[in-house]
Amino acid sequence: MITEMEQSEQLAAMYDASPIGLAVLDRELRYVRINEHLAALNGIAAADHIGRSVQEVIPDLSAQALAAFERVLAGEEIRGIELIGPTAARPDRTSVWRQNWVPLRDASGDIVGVAVSCEDVSEERRAQRAVVAQPDQHRARG
């Protein structure tokens, strides 16, 4: 039988090894936990996120995020929202991140924070734009 400590360690290992960015924010939108993948996307060490607000860590994206976070703190789940802009990891480039934001609740049901998952879809969006920009090959042959 697995102990509570072993279970906690396994969950932490899964969180840290996830191929998508993961974070937990408190009600003031300060980072409580973040995995290495999301820290790399933000261009700031994971430890340097803890206790800092979204506005401090990703100022160019925070305005887009704040309105959505207000909805999450009111109890709404937001799935598939895309944020567009630079980060410290790529300050000279516009990137696109698909994110999911879910309220975190305590045992009594009160919202105590926000769980965030994030995936960089910049290359996918660039490829889509390239396909749309190509002339229709079928019409050209017609």
How far apart CA 133 and CA 56 sit, in angstroms, is 36
Question: Do the domain assignments include residue 10?
Answer: no
Question: Do the domain assignments include residue 2?
Answer: no
| Strand order across the 21-26 sheet | 31-34, 21-26, 111-120, 90-105, 78-87
The answer to which of 8-22, 81-95, 99-113 has the lowest mean pLDDT is: 81-95
> What CATH number corresponds to the domain at position 129?
3.30.450.20
The answer to which of 19-33, 59-73, 107-121, 122-136 has the lowest mean pLDDT is: 122-136
Question: Do the domain assignments include residue 107?
Answer: yes
Question: Do the domain assignments include residue 9?
Answer: no
Question: Do the domain assignments include residue 4?
Answer: no
For residues 26 and 17, the model is more confident at: 26
Question: Do the domain assignments include residue 79?
Answer: yes
- Nearest of 126, 128, 101 to residue 116 by alpha carbon: 101
Domain range holding 66?
Answer: 16-141
Q: Based on the structure, what is the number of domains in the chain?
A: 1
Question: Do the domain assignments include residue 26?
Answer: yes
Whether pTM exceeds 0.85: no
Query: What is the tens place of the pLDDT at every residue in 23-45?
Result: 999 999 999 999 999 999 899 99
